[in-house]
Amino acid sequence: MKITSKIVSDHGLNLDEYKKIISLIGKVPNLLELGIFSAMWNEHCSYKSSKKHLKTLPTKNKKVIQGPGENAGIVDIGDNDALVFKIESHNHPSYIEPYQGAATGVGGILRDIFTMGARPIATLNSLHFGSHNHKKTKNLLNGVVSGIGGYGNCIGIPTVGGEVKFDHSYNENILVNAMAVGLAKKNKIFYSKAKGINKSVIYVGSKTGRDGIHGASMASAEFDANVEEKKPTVQVGDPFTEKLLLEACLELMKDDSIISIQDMGAAGLTSSSVEMASKGDLGIEINLNKIPCREEKMTPYEMMLSESQERMLLILNTGKEERAKKVFDKWGLDFSIIGKTTDTKNLILNFNNVEVANLPLSSLSKDAPIYDRKWKKNSITKKNTHKQDFKKINILDSFKKILSTPNNSEKSWIWEQYDHTVMGDTIQKPGGDSAVVRIHGKNKAVAITVDSSAHYCAANPVSGAKQVVSEAWRNLIAVGSEPLAITNCLNFGNPEKEKIMGQFVETIDGISQACRYLDFPVVSGNVSFYNETQNKAISPTPTIGGVGLIKNLNHMVTKNFKEIGSDILVVGKTSGHLHQSEFFREVLNIKEGPPPEVNLFNEKNNGLLIKNLISKKLLNSAHDVSSGGILIALSEMCLYSKIGAKIKVPRDNITMHEYLFGEDQSRYLIEINEKNKNQVIKTLEKSSVYYDYIGKTQKDSLNLEKEFDMKLSDLIKLNCSWFKSYYNEN
């Protein structure tokens, strides 16, 4: 077949890239070779638009065992235990086919975890849908949630946390970001780097089909009006096979059989073979006739680019083939020796005794294009110069409006579809500041959170990015954990547009600043570009997955109030920042202006003090103050515990509206009992941490002095009303 400019374009490559391919390999590629380049040089696999900037992120500290560059990041949690975790996007597939797109997103991220020798212990998700009244939203929401629950529940790994948000910018391009966490032993971690010559290359798992071909390339392209035609690019998942694959891999990992291992995720057999061999500076030769196929007459092109799920590529030590085959036979999985490592430094593919591809591995990996794309700084809108007149705006009405919006309403309808208790180690279920999962058989636990704040980032990418990292930090602190590290999923529009590339660059700057100051390194992640449809991009949406360690479960707290008559304090200064707040956006329909500034000194200082108070068992409960401000955070504590509160706003230089709904950062709500009150206050004052005393817990109602007294039953009804009404609509 003659390679035309249209064929090149259909493979997601431009003519300059095609010319570079010819120059690198010294020939015109055949269709198979072009397809392999297409898979390896797309944004999803090569990071060609982002790599330059990603290198500026802090990725190391004393706890980091493995940073970016492997299937997942790894941190040391003591006792020879290591935590393995990562977050990835499955945005485009989930929009095209929501159930399978979301399901295979879960399956893919789980393989990244157990590929490294870790048993997965938890999954989380960050979901962004279009406006609730958009014609597609309800079906997409149902499909995605069902897909996550269907895969996770069947494989038997708890879904312990997440977030669901709605905004018109996602009307034609939803975001489905999946995170997984696993537990490994420090001395039994497995990597993808190939080693040794003439070592057997083994294909294991499920058979190869025609599903998912060009999936990675599709994920690196904008949607157009013909989006339905892309359904064949979406993979089809089988959680029961994945469970068998997980157990078989972990069983084989108990001895020294495996040299290297890589899952067949994006770009399938192409990426797994290329990455393993190129990391080891070796060659690899594959006989495609040995590939287990579930469909007849599959071509080499289809075999190499298929993204059929539940498959792995292994390189084994000499003489371990029989042992490995017995393990995979036991679990009823395909096992085939498909090739060997070589010293050629080339990828060589044979089919029907004919060499059908021969490519230098360096051309596919090290020589992939890296772009320094033009970008421009985002203009930051200023605060309204005129002082808002809040006298005519009723606080109770505002509170009701915010608490009952799609983004702030109660979300148990979603997470109750996920099994969050399987494996028996979930200590804090969805709905808290962070999920908490016990390290099985021990008195320590891992805290996990996912967070995003797209409208902050749209208003100011640097400040917005610092905020979302800081919120992850606060959520981990609020349960009593030591924040360890983050993984990120960076969702943006077309990087070829200077404005969007600027959003990305400035977001990286904000993440870097926050992570460096907080000693909160980035150890894994994913970049998802081209999230736009017909030239309309999503809001810049960096999603941060954070993990922390609770060394002693006796030193853990939750956000629910514990007793009646205890004191409530706000830790951290409230200045009343309302721009980009829920109050401005939902009540006043004001969407311009800057997000709140993040003072990293206060963030760290306040957070470490809260952690110290928790470790000394001086707090009954704690909760970070974020979206919606103090009043929304307080109501969440009431709702979670079914204990009320009576509060009085301190008279300061700001209005009651600013105090209650302002979204200033670095703040926590804490509950303390009478016997600990003096010690807590003394500690706060000694540390020069600002605090306000605002009231006490009480029975039955949430009372704001001179403004309202709402029964808890009415509060619960209000918070739960949106989802119920949404699904009762015709």
Catalytic residue ranges: 44, 90
Phi, psi at residue 350, to the nearest 5°?
Answer: -120, 145
Decide: helix, strand or coil at residue 117: coil
DSSP secondary structure letter of residue 76: E
Instruction: Sort strands 567-571 and 668-672 into parallel, antiparallel or unpaired.
Output: antiparallel
Residues in the chain: 730
Phi, psi of 360 (to 5 degrees): -65, 130
Assign 3-class secondary structure to 476-506.
HHCCCCEEEEEEEEEECCCCCCHHHHHHHHH
Locus of tokens 């005519």: 392
Q: For residue 711, which phi and psi values (nearest 5 degrees)?
A: -60, 145
SS (H, E, C) 670-723: EEECHHHHHHHHHHHHHCCCCEEEEEEEECCEEEECCCEEEEHHHHHHHHHHHH
List the structure tokens of 36.
């392999």
Token pair 């609509």 in the structure block, residue: 729
Our measurement of the distance from residue 648's CA atom to the centroid of its chain's CA atoms, rounded to an integer in Å, reads: 38
Among 501, 523, 532, CA closest to 52: 501
Helix (H, G, I), strand (E, B) or coil at 530: coil
Assign 408 to helix, strand or coil. coil
User: 584: which DSSP letter?
Assistant: I
Instruction: Tell me the helices (H) and strands (E) count for the chain, helix number first.
Output: 25, 28
Rg (CA), the chain: 26
What is the C-alpha to C-alpha distance for residues 453 and 457, in angstroms, rounded to an integer?
7
Separation of alpha carbons 260 and 341, rounded Å: 12
436: phi then psi, degrees, rounded to nearest 5: -130, 125
Four-point Cα dihedral 258, 263, 264, 269, nearest 10 = -30
Residues 6+ apart with CB under 8 A from 210: 232, 295, 298, 302, 306
**Contact between 186 and 84 (Cβ < 8 Å):** no
- 425 with 533: CB under 8 angstroms? no
Which residues have CB under 8 Å from 616's CB, separation 6+?
Answer: none
Residue 7: is it exposed, middle or buried by C-beta count within 10 angstroms (0-12/13-18/19+)? middle
Report how far apart, in Å, the C-alpha atoms of 32 and of each of 54, 59, 284, 341, 366 are: 31, 37, 16, 21, 20
Q: Three-class SS of residue 474? A: helix
